[in-house]
Amino acid sequence: SWWQLVCCEKWELILRPIEGHGLWDGKEVFGALPKQTDYTGRIAVMTRATIRLSQLSRFWEHVDAIAQRMNNAPGFITSIGIGEVPWIKQATFSIWESKEDMKAFAYRLQEHADVVRKTRQEKWYSEELFVRFQIIDSKGSLKGNDPIKRNP
C-alpha cells in the first residue's frame, strides 16, 4: 500500500480482546467483554480517553513523569502513544510480561494511582475505554526489533 513508500518499519500484532470496559466514540467496539478473566500470560493493554478541553493542561502535566515510570516498571515491554485527535483523543498501547506486572504499575505505583484518582475526582475524561488483549502473534519490528520476540 501507499504508506510503504514512506515507512521504514512495520510491526504487526494479532490480538484477542479478553477483558475491558468503556466506549470508543459511544460504541463498544470490542463487544461486551468481561471486566476480569483468569488469563495470566503476556498481555497488551489499550487505554483510550477523550480528554475534556477544560482538563487538557491537568492531563498533559502528568504524562511525562508517568511515561518515564512506566518505561522502568518491572514487566514492562514496550508502549506506543496514539493520538486519534491530537491532544484530545489519546490512547496508550502497552505490552507487559503479565497482567500482574501491569496491575502493579497501574494500581500500586503511587504516582500512577494518584493520577488515576485525579482523573476520577476532577473528571478529566468525557469518555474512556480500557481493553486487555491476549497476544496471539507478532511480526515485524519496532525500533529495530520485534518487542515480543526480543523478550521471549
In a domain, 71, yes or no: yes
CATH number at residue 61: 3.30.70.100
Whether 91 shows a pLDDT value over 90: the answer reads yes
In a domain, 92, yes or no: yes
Whether 151 shows a pLDDT value over 80: the answer reads no
Amino acid at 42: R
Residues 26-73 have pLDDT tens digits of: 999 999 999 999 999 999 999 999 999 999 999 999 988 999 999 999
User: What are the C-alpha distances in Å from 121 to residues 58, 74, 114, 115, 116?
Assistant: 12, 28, 10, 10, 9
In a domain, 19, yes or no: yes
In a domain, 54, yes or no: yes
The pTM score is 0.88
In a domain, 4, yes or no: no
User: What are the C-alpha distances in Å from 54 to residues 60, 120, 122, 144?
Assistant: 12, 14, 10, 39
Parent domain of 101: 10-30+39-150
Which among 146, 121, 134 has a CA at the least distance from the CA of 42?
A: 134
In a domain, 5, yes or no: no
Structural domain total, the chain: 1
At residue 72, the pLDDT reads 94
- Give, to the nearest 10 degrees, the angle between helix 56-71 and helix 110-121: 160
In a domain, 1, yes or no: no
CA angle 34, 17, 7 (to 5 degrees): 155
In a domain, 95, yes or no: yes
The alpha carbon of 34 is separated from its chain's Cα centroid by a whole number of angstroms, namely: 18
